Amino acid sequence: MLTYVTTNPGKIREAESYLPDESIDRLAYDYTEIQSDDLGPIAAHGAREAHRHAGEPVVVDDAGLFIEGLGGFPGPYSSYVENTLGVEGVWEVASELEDRRAAFRCVLAYCDGEGFAATPDPIDREDRVVAAAAGPDDDADRAALPVKLFEGYVPGTIVSPRGDGGFGYDPIFEHDGTTFAEMDTERKNAVSHRGRALAKFAEWFAQR
Ligand code: ITT
Ligand code: NA
């Protein structure tokens, strides 16, 4: 069994086609999101906390929108910014920029309370799929549970909102001429940050 931990139903919808239904539970547990300029430590910390809470193998999903012209902002602060400025507000800020290139990133962190075989997985820079055991992310976790990370990345452009599918920043994120909110789940999954991370995770999970 595997428990997919998120408060966001949109993430579950996207994860479903990668993970066999009989083997997955969903848990809307709001784990602590530590402050970091990197998604990896946030996800790793969350996975350890969620595993301690659930007592079962868990995967957590941490994602963010990184806008080039804003130095990567909102990045790990994407959730806070969506709740304060809002998606329209982010578009308004971005519309003033010359460089509206952006990327979505997603890090899946898996923790089952046990270790992993030390596999020297290569890290592909383009689609930084980190399939190596994550190191400790803070002092409290130094002697803590091993976590395995899988990262996915997709480039795009920030545009005026279009479409009503997806969730979050999808209406303002255009990839190959189409916003993520104009795509159905299958089409978004085929190119998205989460789809890429999920594909790597599902392959590893099935073979481990
Ligand atoms: P959990 O932490 O409970 O999983 P969350 O929605 O807070 O749910 P994140 O912290 O990972 O998840 O998300 C950061 C922000 O990025 C949040 O505002 C999301 O709506 C947004 N986001 C994440 N994935 C996205 C996607 O695929 N498309 C559009 N927006 C996304
Ligand atoms: Na969150």
CA of 95 to the centre of ligand 1 (A): 22
ipTM of the complex: 0.98
CA of 167 to the centre of ligand 1 (A): 8
**Residues taking part in catalysis:** 62
Residue 48: domain span: 2-207
Q: What is the pLDDT of residue 121?
A: 44
CA of 108 to the centre of ligand 2 (A): 12
Q: What is the pLDDT of residue 102?
A: 98
Across the 208 residues of the chain, what is the mean pLDDT of every consecutive 10-residue run? Answer: 94 91 86 92 95 94 97 97 98 97 98 71 38 46 77 98 98 98 98 97 90
Q: What is the pLDDT of residue 117?
A: 57
The count of domains in the chain is: 1
Q: Which residue, 51, 24, 173, is CA-closest to 106?
A: 173
Q: What is the pLDDT of residue 154?
A: 98
Ligand 1 nearest-atom number relative to CA 61: 4
Who lines ligand 1 at CB under 6 A? 6-8, 11, 61-65, 78-79, 82, 104, 166-170, 180, 192, 194
Q: What is the pLDDT of residue 38?
A: 93
Q: What angle do CA 123, 127, 133 make, to 5 degrees?
A: 40
CATH code of residue 7:
3.90.950.10
Q: What is the pLDDT of residue 140?
A: 53
154 and 104 Cβ atoms separated by less than 8 Å? yes
Q: What is the pLDDT of residue 21?
A: 74
